[in-house]
Structure 1
Amino acid sequence: MTRLYDALLSPSSVAIVGASDTPGKTTARPLEYLRRHGWKGELFPVNPARETVLGERAWPSLGALPVVPDHVFILTGPDLAVEAVRECADLGVTVATVMADDFLDDGGRGAARRAELLEIVRASGLRLLGPSSLGVTAPGDGLALTANAAFAEAEPGDGGVFVASQSGSAMGALLSRGMEMGVGFRGMVSTGNELDLTLGEICLASVDDPRIESYALFLENITGADDLRAFARAAAERGKPVLAYKLGRTDAGARLAVSHTGALAGDDAVADALLKDLGIARVRTFEALLEGQNLARGLPLRPAGAARPRVCVLSTTGGGGAMAVDCLAAAGADLPGPSPETIGRLAEAGIAAGHGALIDLTLAGTRYDVMKSALDVVLAAPEFDAVVAVPGSSARFHPELAVKPIVDCAANGKPLAAFVMPAAPEALRLLRSSGVAAFRTAEACADALFAVFGRRKPAAGDRPGPRPPSADSEILDEAESYEVLGGAGLSCAPHAVVTAGELPPGLPVPGPVAVKILSAEVPHKSDAGGVVLGVTDGDGLRAAADRIARSVTERLPAVKPERFLVQTMARGLGEALVGFRHDPDAGPVVVLAAGGVLAELYQDRSVRPAPVDPGTAREMIGEVIAFRALAGYRGAPVGDLDALARAVAAVSRLADADGAAILEAEVNPLLVLPEGQGVVAVDALVRREREV
């Protein structure tokens, strides 16, 4: 790992293949930036068409260089890039970065190029960054090996934030915002398409760098989940917080699924669950990704099951304070207001405070002694986990009055953040340079605070990783699905299988019963008219079978309705959906949601990487709004939520099931019975790899 990290961020020699002689051109930028920023290593422009490039000697090939470079940045088109990568491998180069795109696995020429690159890398010791990477930078060392136009500005300051971005342009945006904020960077890496080196592996290689204090990840998708998990655990062990901003969900994964679970556990929901499982703080606003770094560094990871953060808002501006309260409440923070003891201590300092969520000092708070005294009291108050200070217009014109007290309280030990309501760049710089998390908007402040407090210790133990796509899978019918789920420990309603030609004279299980079409070709039976409820005798069974046969034949002519499932009907206090599936990027996940045919519409759900224990399953239950009604809401009967938690854990263990791999499973609905009576499955679907 040390050799890889050194070649990425601290190379002693760099070659630039395809370096242009035209100033300002994209392929000229890396050479220009390295010289402008004063990088001290050996630099070799490679361009067989020229003797010099930007006034420096040009080399005809990598093989003609006097040394084997540590890092080669390849700026050519895709076909020439493949050949350059091959030459890097033959020479023993440690890292090559490819800027070109057109390597997508789309079945065309891009797929062939991608396969060539993979073959070269796997057969050698070369590590590849990209394709579609805009390069790497280490600002404190003058390394600006990048084609990103943002680095044409003055050299950014050195600092403790390490940026890994799947978007090259976002790396430039973070650079410019960081320069404005006074945030310095130890390193910045554009990971590109991650054909070889993943974002997680790059960050893992960096984690022992003593100059790195925290991480900012810009994610377009989740790739290399195992590498990301290894990095997150290593960062947590070293006390280096990780914040991530991820672009929104897509429906690509859901469209591949046969159950509601696929839509409920869409790409973004899975990413959210994985990041939470890894102890990575996911922020929802781009500004919070950098603005939250100081806040994260001052707050250790919290144990699983920790309560919502209790936040005090202290302002010198009523409107700004109310904005902070609104945003914090919307994010999920608890705003308990000061206790009687705290109100008394504030009164002793000459400060009148009410019992509400906001302590508004009004204009009196623009005096240093008033603001400082109030902060000392609330920072010492045990009912608060964090304090948000909101200075008003004085922050712009007289920062020594309401802002200097915040700076002087920065070393208190309790998390302290500031939302500076007016445009006050000097105040923001003063706060940030003192280690105070300072925000320009209430939304970013609330986002960062709630996300950072939501960080938990990464889950212990190994988890099954992503599986390669299955070449062949099969959907089981409902009876076969019950057999799989029963083996995992799930209770299913009594049922029997009957055939159209040999219907029994009476009911094969206690009635009343539900009669259903039994066919793996009809996973959603209600949509095909394949269910009849409330059947009480043999005549009703025969009528139900005839009715189902006609309806299914009419709607699905290719299906032959020959078999039926007869199942004892049960009633519960509520319905749940418990699902499991293998996400192609993140690995196995378990989903809990409100049950029924409208489960997908409501999106009232909780998702976790699988497997989970019953304690984690209880956390999931608490995140689904529908299940609050089963906890005795307004005197309603209490459901057996402990049994529901055990059922969620049982379904999640399909991740480790023996035999053919279970790719997808769903119980919908799972009836939740009164407390102490358990849960019972009354519909199920399983998809697994086809047994050979």
Structure 2
Amino acid sequence: MSLAQALLNPRRIALIGASADEQRLTARPQRYLRRHGFTGELFPMNPRAESVLGERAFASLADIPGEIDFAYILLGTDNVEAQVVACAARGIPVACVLADGFAEAGPEGAALQARVLAAAQGSGMRVLGPNSMGIVNLNARTALTTNAALEAEDLPAGRVALVSQSGSMMGALLSRGAARGLGFSHLIGTGNEADLTAGEIASLLLDDPDVDAVALFLEAIRAPEQMAAAAAKARELRKPIIALKLGRSPFGAELATSHTGALAGSDAAADAFFRAHGILRVSMLESLLELPLLVAGRRAPAHSHRAVSVMTTTGGGGALAVDALGVLGIEARKPDAKAAAKLEAAKFGTHARLLDLTLAGARPDRVMAALDALRAAEDTDLVLAVIGSSAQFRPKDAVAGIVEGTKIPGKPVAAFLAPQAEASLRLLAEAGIAAFRTAESAADCINAYCAWQAPRDGIETAPPAIPLPARPDEADARGVFAALGLDSPFAVMQDTPPEGLRYPVALKILSPDLAHKTEVGGVALNIADAAALRDAAASMRARVTAAAPQAKITGLLVQPMAKGLAEAILGFRRDPEVGPVVLLGAGGVLSELHRDIALRLAPVDLETAREMIAEVRALKPLSGWRNLPLGDLEALAQAVVAASRLAGVEQVAEAEINPLIVGRPGEGVTVADAWVVLR
């Protein structure tokens, strides 16, 4: 039996620890399976009962006849390991573990999780969880879960599959979707992902002909290579992957880590990962329901204008949508010449950012004409139709123009319904049209669509050979960057100034223990001559020794004073979730405060490096903004590419140039300070 069949559509299921008390949590899977029409065979395992909820019970796995596709282990943490061993011995393809208390509970739990996984791997059995609320396959009527949302009498099936590391969010999304006629094809709770990960399961779901898109609720990115492979398949099949990932705030990251036992990386790195692999990222729960209809069957646009056309039958609602979009940097754009010509031909009298049909109302013929005109614009990504009170009181009339208008192929169309209008939402969903309940979720989804990019081809780089001591200081770090092509003049001294220096110079303490030299008095600037340098060196040694007596001092570094137009920070890091990333931001001592950065997976090409430069607000003046002097942005882009090649230098965990001084065109960039951390 294939993994997809055993995991997503099992027909013979063992419920290990099934309760005969239907009020207990461990009775739910059996109740839900039968309530929602599962037609396969169930084998409740309970050594203290002859029958469980009217079905024959079994004392052990050995007593169950024939093959078993899937075992759901409903027992407490202390009993899980023995049952996994028994399942593996029985040759069961997939076992799901409900209990918590594993990697998320600390070292002992992590050790138990490792033993459980080792027991399964010995037989080739796959494990879902621990801490998993199971699987739901709405098309096969398989409600194999403990989630209380399955108490509902009716569960609408849909064409979006949900993979969630949080079991409770499975139920939240299922119930929210059902309330507006949006169903799911599958809901899979992955929990700790000791074995089966969200990426691997997403890949299996994409192969299902009844799945048009996959939604992910993530607390951490595990096995990024599996997620990347799923994203590549999604692009090939035109079945987008949409992700909502926690961890945007330090508090959210802390909770996500403690909940699943994952080692969390930075949110900016996660964002870079999604961008690099063509995964659409949203920030609102509602968006996981609303965005799939906008993107299903599509690929990322070749070029994004980050602009939309907006038509409305409610002035206030339309203005609300325009404002929410603008906050996220999406422009509601005036009709271009092509769209304006069509609007004039249809006798629409306005060419403003908002095509206001308030007086005409939602008459289907007028809405269709407006949509046709606005879809003709060549400088927008989609059309947003905002509908007012008619959506609540005359649903069929209110959305008829949108439904009929979108039957003609063309630019995507979405709708925001200002009132509470469940009937209209259902009608739009049935027509396959993305519809939003709030202006904020509309903006969130449209922002994700406009940011959607096709993955770029991988960059092959030959890693440079860079010998490094076990504890590198700044001189060693500069050697690393010099090997990458970022070489700026410096010299190392002990007490006697080297010959041939170009004064004035800067002097810095050299130590593998001092990443922030300024804080211990380890930096002196604008030293005018050799005599002053000798005195400064002696004073600095004494000052640093007093401030940091445990630090190993390897010497002093001397470099010419450098001037430029701007300072940048250029960094490299191996993120614990997604791997190598390169960072560019506003440099200097305030870089950590401002957090004005751009970040990508490493390595990058020149085109990507130029995009990163354009994202950093502090570097905008270097482009000639308001007639300010131009900076050597091409040299800066080449520096970003060079630093990103550290992805191929396995011994480097982190590296940074801060500041990197950017000169005028032709002057290049200067390494003012460098640091490297080994793995």
TM-score where L is the length of structure 1: 0.92
After superposition, the Cα gap between the structure-2 partners of 1:551 and 1:508, relative to the gap in structure 1 and judged at 3 Å, is farther
Aligned amino acid, residue 662 of structure 1: V
Report the equivalent of 2:667.
Answer: 677
Structure 1 portions without partners, runs of 5+: 256-264, 465-471
Structure 2 portions without partners, runs of 5+: 255-263, 462-467
After superposition, the Cα gap between the structure-2 partners of 1:149 and 1:180, relative to the gap in structure 1 and judged at 3 Å, is same
| Aligned match for 2:473, one of 467, 472, 477 | 477
| Aligned match for 2:582, one of 568, 590, 612 | 590
3-state SS of 1:21 partner: coil
Please tell me whether the aligned partners of residues 160 and 212 of structure 1 are also in contact (alpha carbons under 8 angstroms). yes
3-state SS of 1:663 partner: strand
Worse-matched range after superposition: 365-374 or 278-287:
365-374
Report the equivalent of 1:450.
Answer: 447
3-state SS of 2:407 partner: helix
Report the equivalent of 1:618.
Answer: 610
Provide the rounded CA distance (Å) in 1 between the counterparts of 2:554 and 2:10: 70
Q: Work out the percentage of aligned pairs sharing the same amino acid.
A: 47
Residue deviations 1:510-554 (CA, integer Å, cap 9, x gap):
111100000111111111110000012111112211332232123
Report the equivalent of 1:242.
Answer: 241
Aligned amino acid, residue 69 of structure 2: D
* 1:498 equivalent in alignment to 2:498: no
Worse-matched range after superposition: 358-367 or 224-233:
358-367
Please tell me whether the aligned partners of residues 48 and 59 of structure 2 are also in contact (alpha carbons under 8 angstroms). yes
Q: Which residues of 2 match residues 368-387 of structure 1 at below 5 A?
A: 368-387=364-383
Report the equivalent of 1:262.
Answer: none
Aligned-residue CA RMSD (Å) = 2.1
Q: In the TM superposition, what is the alpha-carbon distance from 1:445 to its structure 2 partner?
A: 0.6
Provide the rounded CA distance (Å) in 2 between the counterparts of 1:345 and 1:232: 39
Q: In the TM superposition, what is the alpha-carbon distance from 1:403 to its structure 2 partner?
A: 1.7
Q: In the TM superposition, what is the alpha-carbon distance from 1:114 to its structure 2 partner?
A: 1.4
After superposition, the Cα gap between the structure-2 partners of 1:539 and 1:560, relative to the gap in structure 1 and judged at 3 Å, is farther
| Aligned match for 1:325, one of 319, 322, 326 | 322
Please tell me whether the aligned partners of residues 140 and 157 of structure 1 are also in contact (alpha carbons under 8 angstroms). no
Report the equivalent of 1:296.
Answer: 295
3-state SS of 2:581 partner: strand
Residue deviations 1:252-298 (CA, integer Å, cap 9, x gap):
9999xxxxxxxxx9621111110111101101111111111110115
Worse-matched range after superposition: 619-628 or 331-340:
331-340
Report the equivalent of 1:258.
Answer: none
* 1:364 equivalent in alignment to 2:360: yes
Please tell me whether the aligned partners of residues 103 and 111 of structure 2 are also in contact (alpha carbons under 8 angstroms). no
Q: In the TM superposition, what is the alpha-carbon distance from 1:105 to its structure 2 partner?
A: 6.1
* 1:12 equivalent in alignment to 2:11: yes
Please tell me whether the aligned partners of residues 508 and 566 of structure 1 are also in contact (alpha carbons under 8 angstroms). no
Q: In the TM superposition, what is the alpha-carbon distance from 1:463 to its structure 2 partner?
A: 8.6
Please tell me whether the aligned partners of residues 368 and 401 of structure 1 are also in contact (alpha carbons under 8 angstroms). yes
Report the equivalent of 1:131.
Answer: 130
3-state SS of 2:168 partner: helix
Report the equivalent of 1:663.
Answer: 653
Provide the rounded CA distance (Å) in 2 between the counterparts of 1:473 and 1:13: 59
Residue deviations 1:553-586 (CA, integer Å, cap 9, x gap):
2321222546110111111111111111111221
Q: In the TM superposition, what is the alpha-carbon distance from 1:334 to its structure 2 partner?
A: 2.9
Provide the rounded CA distance (Å) in 2 between the counterparts of 1:396 and 1:463: 56
3-state SS of 1:559 partner: coil
* 1:528 equivalent in alignment to 2:520: yes
Q: In the TM superposition, what is the alpha-carbon distance from 1:374 to its structure 2 partner?
A: 1.6
Q: In the TM superposition, what is the alpha-carbon distance from 1:508 to its structure 2 partner?
A: 4.7
* 1:184 equivalent in alignment to 2:179: no
Q: In the TM superposition, what is the alpha-carbon distance from 1:367 to its structure 2 partner?
A: 2.6
Q: Which residues of 2 match residues 602-641 of structure 1 at below 5 A?
A: 602-641=594-633
Q: In the TM superposition, what is the alpha-carbon distance from 1:204 to its structure 2 partner?
A: 1.2
After superposition, the Cα gap between the structure-2 partners of 1:218 and 1:675, relative to the gap in structure 1 and judged at 3 Å, is same
Worse-matched range after superposition: 102-111 or 428-437:
102-111
Worse-matched range after superposition: 643-652 or 559-568:
559-568
Report the equivalent of 2:483.
Answer: 487
After superposition, the Cα gap between the structure-2 partners of 1:301 and 1:131, relative to the gap in structure 1 and judged at 3 Å, is same
Aligned amino acid, residue 331 of structure 1: L
Aligned amino acid, residue 100 of structure 1: A
3-state SS of 2:678 partner: strand
Please tell me whether the aligned partners of residues 132 and 167 of structure 2 are also in contact (alpha carbons under 8 angstroms). yes
Provide the rounded CA distance (Å) in 2 between the counterparts of 1:400 and 1:560: 77
After superposition, the Cα gap between the structure-2 partners of 1:521 and 1:331, relative to the gap in structure 1 and judged at 3 Å, is same
After superposition, the Cα gap between the structure-2 partners of 1:17 and 1:560, relative to the gap in structure 1 and judged at 3 Å, is closer
Q: In the TM superposition, what is the alpha-carbon distance from 1:249 to its structure 2 partner?
A: 3.1
3-state SS of 1:476 partner: coil
Aligned amino acid, residue 559 of structure 2: Q
3-state SS of 1:364 partner: coil
Q: Which residues of 2 match residues 278-427 of structure 1 at below 5 A?
A: 278-297=277-296, 299-303=298-302, 306-354=303-351, 356-412=352-408, 413-427=410-424
Aligned amino acid, residue 420 of structure 2: A
Please tell me whether the aligned partners of residues 117 and 127 of structure 2 are also in contact (alpha carbons under 8 angstroms). no
Worse-matched range after superposition: 414-423 or 322-331:
322-331
Q: In the TM superposition, what is the alpha-carbon distance from 1:682 to its structure 2 partner?
A: 1.1
